[in-house]
């Protein structure tokens, strides 16, 4: 079925859901209709390990009655199911608690643009075949295995998905678009038994033509894995920590969580009193741009039909605003930042799309030389983050630095600090990678606690 035909069908389905909800007694309603297909191929030992294919249409409906709301969904979209879903949603909403901040956008608030034309979110090439994806995965695996010292490739994968969505609401909004995703990943292993180490490389793009060659992915996975051979625990103490660009986005994600309107409205954010205050070093900006061409989370409008736009979350180190949907904005007496996202079974909530941190001027090598003695973090696991205080503790692995040079790989350590203090000491490198939802370079943090040997 062509993309235009899919959009027409989804449009009719979403609008039929809204109309059914109104007939069933809803004051307001909005509906999502989604159709997608995906293929995932895993290879191992030069042969096919697993193949998965999925295809289907799903619907989700939100109904609002007098400050009450309920969300219902189904994977069947017959007329009978649509009517039943609407009646069930209305019955559930009548039993829900009242929240006077709930409600759809006013018609004048709605985006004029109702598609993603110009953003190039949907690859214009034919879908890849399972055979072509298998070839890509095999090429990635072969490149990893070609590196001396790699004992096996745990997994090499290539995947594709194509998804179309349509959003309709009783306030008159009706719009939708399609999005494609192409992924290549490889996990390599070196050593055996207790001396075994593994690492990975993966890339994802909206358009296949923007992906690196699979040989680059496999070779990078092998390089990272071999660098981890002989890992041991680092010393314990207070040291500078360099977050490699692979994991630097996690620090920024904690900042984004703290300025999320949901957390602020609940009083559960360590930045809840910091509007207009310094939250990053002077001169550092944090910008959100949902309109970047071909980027993974770009979107022309949010899940409440409001037009997305570029905005500064932090400017010159100073916090400029919260990330808000309609409900959290009303709770805080502010306008929505057109940041709503929702699933088929969930109500809207604020999220960020395409965040860019101001890069610095130093290479990672220069940052390593300047730190003298400390830890480079390349991977993390587990997390203990106190959203109210900003207290931070995570398991980490990476490389120990002595005299401004990498001395040996490390694992099984814990790093700890307070996010409020950590973010104010950030020094950014110049090595941010494109195509990420959070585009952040390597980040140096002063004076964190390392618990190792």
pLDDT value, residue 296:
86
Two structure tokens written together for 394: 């995570």
Q: Please report the pLDDT score of residue 192 as a whole number.
A: 85
Spacing of C-alpha 211 from chain mean position = 18
Residue 240: its pLDDT value, please? 97
**Residue-level pLDDT at 453:** 67
Q: Give the residue among 328, 292, 363 at the shortest CA–CA distance from 116.
A: 292
Predicted local confidence at residue 79, as pLDDT: 94
> What's the pLDDT at 6?
87
The whole-number pLDDT of residue 383 equals 84
- Encoded tokens for 281: 């070093």
E strands, 255-388, where? 286-288, 311-315, 318-319, 340-341, 349-350, 355-357, 374-385
Domain ranges of the chain: 3-224, 231-452
- Rounded Cα gap, residues 59 and 397, in angstroms: 42
- Asked whether the beta carbons of 382 and 421 are under 8 A apart, the reply is no
> Could you write out the DSSP letters of every residue in 121-142?
-S--SPPPPHHHHHHHHHHHHH
pLDDT along the chain (453 residues), means of 10: 80 98 98 97 97 96 97 95 97 96 97 96 96 98 97 96 98 97 98 88 97 98 96 95 97 98 96 97 97 96 98 98 98 98 96 97 96 96 92 97 97 95 97 97 96 81
Cα 32 to Cα 35: distance, rounded to the nearest angstrom: 10
Alpha carbon 192 to chain centroid, angstroms? 34
Residue with token string 């993309």: 3
Q: Which CATH class is domain 3-224?
A: alpha beta
| pLDDT score of 1 | 57
Please give the Cα distance from 345 to 72 (Å, whole number): 6
Q: Are 429 and 443 in contact (CB under 8 A)?
A: yes
- Nearest 5°: CA angle at 221, between 216 and 227? 125
């Amino acid at each position: 079925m062509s993309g235009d035909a899919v959009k027409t069908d989804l449009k009719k389905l979403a609008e039929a859901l809204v109309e059914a909800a109104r007939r069933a007694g809803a004051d307001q309603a909005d509906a999502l209709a989604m159709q997608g297909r995906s293929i995932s191929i895993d290879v191992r030992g030069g042969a096919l390990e697993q193949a998965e294919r999925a295809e289907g249409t799903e619907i989700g409906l939100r109904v609002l009655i007098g400050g009450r709301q309920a969300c219902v969904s189904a994977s069947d979209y017959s007329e009978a199911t649509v009517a039943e879903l609407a009646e069930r949603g209305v019955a559930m909403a009548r039993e829900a608690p009242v929240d006077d901040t709930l409600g759809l956008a006013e018609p004048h608030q709605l985006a004029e643009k109702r598609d993603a034309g110009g953003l190039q979110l949907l690859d214009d090439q034919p879908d890849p075949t399972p055979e072509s994806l298998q070839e890509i995965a095999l090429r990635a695996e072969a490149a990893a295995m070609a590196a001396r010292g790699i004992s096996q490739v745990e997994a090499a994968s290539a995947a594709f998905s194509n998804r179309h969505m349509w959003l309709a609401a009783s306030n008159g909004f009706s719009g939708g678009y399609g999005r494609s995703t192409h992924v290549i990943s490889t996990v390599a292993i070196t050593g055996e038994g207790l001396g075994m180490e593994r690492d990975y490389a993966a890339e994802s793009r909206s358009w296949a033509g923007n992906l690196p060659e699979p040989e680059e992915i496999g070779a990078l996975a092998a390089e990272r894995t071999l660098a981890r051979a002989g890992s041991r625990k680092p010393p314990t103490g207070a040291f500078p920590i360099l977050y490699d660009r692979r994991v630097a986005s996690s620090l920024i994600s904690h900042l984004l969580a703290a300025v999320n309107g949901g957390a602020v409205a609940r009083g559960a954010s360590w930045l809840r009193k910091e509007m207009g205050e310094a939250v990053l070093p002077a001169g550092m900006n944090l910008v959100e741009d949902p309109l970047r061409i071909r980027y993974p989370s770009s979107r022309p409008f949010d899940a409440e039909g409001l037009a997305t736009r570029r905005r500064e979350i932090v400017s010159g180190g100073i916090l400029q605003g919260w990330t808000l949907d309609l409900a959290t904005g009303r709770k805080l007496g502010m306008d929505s930042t057109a940041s709503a996202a929702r699933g088929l079974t969930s109500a809207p909530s604020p999220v960020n799309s395409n965040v860019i941190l101001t890069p610095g001027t130093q290479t990672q090598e220069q940052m390593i030389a300047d730190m003298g003695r400390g830890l480079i973090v390349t991977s993390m696991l587990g997390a203990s983050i106190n959203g109210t205080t900003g207290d931070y503790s995570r398991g980490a692995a990476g490389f120990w630095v002595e005299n401004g040079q990498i001395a040996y790989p490390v694992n099984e350590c814990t790093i700890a600090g307070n996010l409020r203090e950590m973010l104010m000491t950030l020094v950014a490198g110049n090595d941010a990678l494109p195509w990420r939802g959070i585009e952040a370079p390597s980040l140096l943090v002063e004076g964190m606690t390392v618990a190792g040997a």
